[in-house]
Amino acid sequence: MLILRTLSRGPNHGYGIAQQIRQVSGDALNVGEGSLYPALQRLLIDDCAVAEWGTSENNRRARFYKITSKGRRRLAQEKKSFDFLLSAIGRVMETP
C-alpha cells in the first residue's frame, strides 16, 4: 500500500520510493531493499505497476516505476481496508 501510494504521486525509482516513504513518515518507516524490490516485482506481475529504464537525478541508470489504473484501484481498496482496521483498533483501545 505504501509503495502504491508513493507511486500515485508520480513515477519513481526504487531508491527514490524508499527515500520518499522514509521522509514522509518522519524517519519512522525504513523500507529496505530486501522488502522493496520483491514488492515492486509483485506489483509488476499483478499489473499494478509498469517499469521502464531511465536516468536518475544523479545520472545513473535506474528502473522507474509507475502506477497503473489497476494499481490505483488496488490502492483504493487497500486504503479502505486499512481505514476499517484502524477504526476497529481505535474502538477496542477506547473501550473501558
**Distance between CA atoms of residues 61 and 29, nearest Å:** 26
**Strand runs labelled E in 1-96:** 12-13, 49-55, 61-67
Q: Is the pLDDT of residue 65 over 90?
A: yes
Q: Output the pLDDT for position 57.
A: 87
Parse the chain into domains and list their residue ranges: 2-94
76 is written with which cell numbers?
Answer: 483504493
Choose which CATH entry (2.40.30.10, 3.65.10.10, 3.30.70.20, 1.10.10.10) describes domain 2-94. 1.10.10.10
**Distance between CA atoms of residues 8 and 48, nearest Å:** 11
**Cβ atoms of residues 38 and 19 within 8 Å:** no
Percent of the chain with pLDDT over 90: 95
